Amino acid sequence: MNKIVSRQFHNLLKSLTTHFSTWTPLAATFNSRPDHKLNLKIFKKDVGLFDVPQLDSYDGFFELKNECIFKTDLLTAEVTSNNRTRKIVEVFDELSDTLCKVADLAEFIRLAHPSKTYTDAAESASATISTIVERLNTDRALYSALNDVIQYGDKFPTNEFDDLMARLFLFDFEQSGIHLPENERNKVVTLNNALLQLGQQFVAACGNVRVVDKRNLSRDTENLFTTDGHNVIVSGLCSDTADSQTREMAYKIYLYPDMHQDALLTEILQKRHELAQICGFPTYSHRALKGSTVETPESVMEFLDTLSVGLTDRAAEDFTIMDHMKRRENIASSPLQVWDTAYFTKKAKQEIFDVHSTEYSAYFSLGSCMEGLNTLFTELYGISLVVKEIMPGECWSLDVYKIEVTHETEGLLGYIYCDFYERTGKLCQDCHFTIRGGKLLADGSYQHPIVVLMLNLPLPQWSSPTLLSPSMVDALFHEMGHAMHSMLARTRYQHVTGTRCSTDFAEVPSILMEYFCNDPRVLKTFARHFQTKQPMPDEMIQRLCASKNLFMASEMQMQLFYSALDQIYHGAHPLSGSTTDVLAEVQQKYYGVPYIENTAWQLRFSHLVGYGAKYYSYLVSRSLASCIWQNYFENDPLNRLQGNRLRHELLSFGGSKSPRNLVADFLQKELTNDLLVNSLITEIDSKQYQIDFLKNNKAVLKHEAKANRFKKDSIVKNTGIKKNKYAYCNIKRAYVAMKITKSCLNTILSEKKVCKTETKDLDDYVNSFEDSDSQSTIDSDLIRSDILDGSIISISDDSNCD
């Protein structure tokens, strides 16, 4: 899979990595505090939230709500009118747009606005719209008009997109049982209401702490946790803790079966099954998977089973390594257990590849990451991210940035509001919100999409911009993948625009962005030290990328186990036993580490409610993204031709085409389970090859890492140049590690006059360095600038430098 990087790409990298000595305006904006520029605007008039004039005050929600009600009445009358002058789906989409524009905006403000007057007004508007939607969903006249068009055709010519849209609207109606006889329809309504309540109760209790009477525990165990009077409090799995006894006890106490949660989960699963059967589906899973990429539960289970065969041995190898690590810590310890895997996965990343977040975050300022995204989008699509001035009253918080997404010839595509910084009371999840969906308007113009990306990054400090850990960089790229799905969609209808598509396709664009973000060639375009502006050294990039792929098989096997459990819970009923019996069976079959008696992990798994039979979506999206990456981008990640194909043949459709056909047409091959599984297994094997290579060359890697640390320390100390033997010794080390040629080094030193008096010593060292590697891989300009700004030569007390 790893083909040689094209010459063109090398040139691009060179230009991107060697000529950045200052930040671009985009990077500079994201590297500074956003609130400072607003002070001069106090005399200007508020434009209203999201530039919606009515929202210059919270009262505007009342106005928006009334306008929405008025327009909804006109549109519902149009649907059933004999004098309708356009396709029925056009009217339905305008109806949906009218409701969504107010509902989505109000829902976002309800969650995000720091002022209670605003959240209250938004909540009231949101509740009114929900009531209208419920009424419309049970409006039999609307349903019949749509059903007639589907049965007998519209009086205006329609195409395949119109027909799919009509079926999607009809399916929405049928979720409420509108097509059923009166008594069954009532049952559906009752079941839906009950499920809403039960689900909320189950999710709310998933994270509860476990309080245990001290007297039930041994004294040893008691001392491992926080205590409160007679009680011991266990608030989580403690999987980061180095002490294996603490992890074990935390696991057993925290996951001890809770009868109330068990009763809730059992009832949810039974009621879901009942609901599905009333609506004519064999199981809840059949109902949930209608219109998905994989289409049926049988196909999902076949995918999971085939993947399981491929993963078993590969995951077992991961567990063997973890088991060895555990025995190295304590020869007498028990074999690897389920409470150990997260701990040893993290430890291995640090031990084998020496990856520590703090070392990396200096190279990931928010500004450089945004610049990286901009470079990527420019190369792939000819699209730029342009920072726009925020007008007074436009945002809910002063620290939000607004980006205009613009194409080089097509102009404006949409807006992204970046609400990136943590603040009290803010939602702590990373999210993408659609505020306004894209849609072709009656006058032929396009309604530009508006989205919000919400992250929880630390605010910039006076001394440094916001610095991201590698996992935060992944999250930023992931969420930006969702945002660009919204920006690049060019659907006729807003009901199916951007991320409004099947769950098992919705994560494809965002996971694909993680592949870009973990590619060394892409990382090289933007990872630069926030102080020195130097690019991240190659060896650091290699270590980071390798560490992210470590134990990929075992992590994937865990996802597979969760997905299989979710499918079986939502499959045929009655289940073969209690939810815990099923968990034990499924874990035995699909996961390489055994189930622990008297634990019930499923009672803490809130995704069973939110995803309900769709948890497999992550694995399917991941394999589709992997397949796209391997076939079209792995060879050349910044290829415009493939970027344009991705944009026009995949992302532009949103959910307006059956996801199965969409993906098959894009990949130009039939979408089979073998294809999905093979792409994941191929990826694991190729990444494992890279990991083994780096592990076998660990000595080289460590040497390089040391040289790099030396360089970093010298920047931090910044104590000036002290020309002693040890400093030169370290220069030599740094260059040996960086494989720089002797002639290149001498050229550089001849320019650094201050060193000349000491070059005798240096020459001795340089001469002792056998330079046979004439293929210098490091840009001499970079080394030169390092030497000249003194960041390589500095004090070292390392007397063991030989």
* Residue 316 and residue 551 in contact, taking contact as beta carbons nearer than 8 Å: no
Contacts of 378 (CB under 8 A, 6+ apart): 384
Question: Smallest gap, in angstroms, from Cβ of residue 629 to Zn ion?
Answer: 16
Question: Smallest gap, in angstroms, from Cβ of residue 514 to Zn ion?
Answer: 10
Judged by CB, which is closer to Zn ion: 465, or 509? 509
Judged by CB, which is closer to Zn ion: 510, or 652? 510
Using alpha carbons, list the distances in angstroms from residue 286 to 228, 281, 478: 48, 6, 29
Question: Smallest gap, in angstroms, from Cβ of residue 512 to Zn ion?
Answer: 11
* Residue 415 and residue 404 in contact, taking contact as beta carbons nearer than 8 Å: yes
Segment interacting with Zn ion (CB under 5 A) among 192-200, 305-313, 400-408, 507-515: 507-515
Question: Smallest gap, in angstroms, from Cβ of residue 511 to Zn ion?
Answer: 8
Give the C-alpha separation, 249 to 707, whole Å.
42
Question: Smallest gap, in angstroms, from Cβ of residue 610 to Zn ion?
Answer: 13
Question: Smallest gap, in angstroms, from Cβ of residue 607 to Zn ion?
Answer: 13
Judged by CB, which is closer to Zn ion: 361, or 510? 510
Provide the pairing of β-strand 411-421 with 450-457: parallel
**Is 597 among the residues known to form the active site?**
no
Give the C-alpha separation, 556 to 573, whole Å.
27
**Candidate list 90, 295, 479, 539, residue with the active-site label:** 479
Judged by CB, which is closer to Zn ion: 377, or 505? 505
Judged by CB, which is closer to Zn ion: 510, or 714? 510
* Residue 562 and residue 616 in contact, taking contact as beta carbons nearer than 8 Å: no
Give the C-alpha separation, 644 to 627, whole Å.
17
SS3 7: helix
Q: What is the DSSP letter of 757?
A: T
Segment interacting with Zn ion (CB under 5 A) among 230-238, 373-381, 508-516, 611-619: 508-516
Judged by CB, which is closer to Zn ion: 510, or 679? 510
Give the C-alpha separation, 663 to 646, whole Å.
11
SS3 151: helix
SS3 372: helix
Cα atoms found within 13 Å of the Cα of residue 364, Cβ hemisphere only: 24
Alpha helices in 138-159 (DSSP H): 140-152
Question: Smallest gap, in angstroms, from Cβ of residue 237 to Zn ion?
Answer: 24
CA 441 to chain centre: 32
Phi, psi dihedral angles at 684 (to 5 degrees): -60, -45
Residue whose Cβ sits closest to Zn ion? 510
Q: For residue 257, is the peptide bond before it cis, meaning its omega torsion is within 30 degrees of 0?
A: no
Question: Smallest gap, in angstroms, from Cβ of residue 262 to Zn ion?
Answer: 30
Q: Count interface residues toward Zn ion (CB under 5 A).
A: 1
* Residue 524 and residue 541 in contact, taking contact as beta carbons nearer than 8 Å: yes
Segment interacting with Zn ion (CB under 5 A) among 168-176, 502-510, 555-563, 586-594: 502-510
What are the DSSP E strand ranges found in 342-495? 383-388, 401-407, 411-421, 431-436, 439-440, 446-447, 450-457
DSSP for 336-347, please give it: P-TTTHHHHHHH
Segment interacting with Zn ion (CB under 5 A) among 193-201, 277-285, 509-517, 639-647: 509-517
First to last CA, the chain: 40
Give the C-alpha separation, 419 to 30, whole Å.
12
Judged by CB, which is closer to Zn ion: 126, or 510? 510
Residue 707 CB: number of other CB atoms within 10 A? 22
Segment interacting with Zn ion (CB under 5 A) among 82-90, 342-350, 355-363, 510-518: 510-518
CA angle 275, 561, 355 (to 5 degrees): 130
Judged by CB, which is closer to Zn ion: 503, or 714? 503
Segment interacting with Zn ion (CB under 5 A) among 186-194, 213-221, 506-514, 699-707: 506-514
Tokens of 141: 């006249």
Judged by CB, which is closer to Zn ion: 460, or 612? 612
Judged by CB, which is closer to Zn ion: 510, or 518? 510
* Residue 625 and residue 683 in contact, taking contact as beta carbons nearer than 8 Å: no
Give the C-alpha separation, 734 to 745, whole Å.
11
Among 119, 283, 368, 510, binds Zn ion (CB under 5 A): 510
Question: Smallest gap, in angstroms, from Cβ of residue 430 to Zn ion?
Answer: 8
SS3 716: helix
- Residue 497 touches Zn ion, criterion: CB under 5 A: no
Q: Which amino acid is at 599?
A: T
Tokens of 64: 């928006």
Q: Binding string, 275-304, against Zn ion, x = CB under 5 A?
A: ------------------------------
CA-closest candidate to residue 385, choices 505, 476, 457, 467: 476
Judged by CB, which is closer to Zn ion: 599, or 617? 617
Question: Smallest gap, in angstroms, from Cβ of residue 477 to Zn ion?
Answer: 11
* Residue 583 and residue 601 in contact, taking contact as beta carbons nearer than 8 Å: yes
Question: Smallest gap, in angstroms, from Cβ of residue 431 to Zn ion?
Answer: 9
Residue 453 CB: number of other CB atoms within 10 A? 21
Restricting to residues 648-677, name those near Zn ion by CB under 5 A: none
Residues across the chain: 802
SS3 774: coil
Segment interacting with Zn ion (CB under 5 A) among 78-86, 488-496, 504-512, 571-579: 504-512
Contacting residues toward Zn ion, per CB under 5 A:
510
Catalytic residues: 479
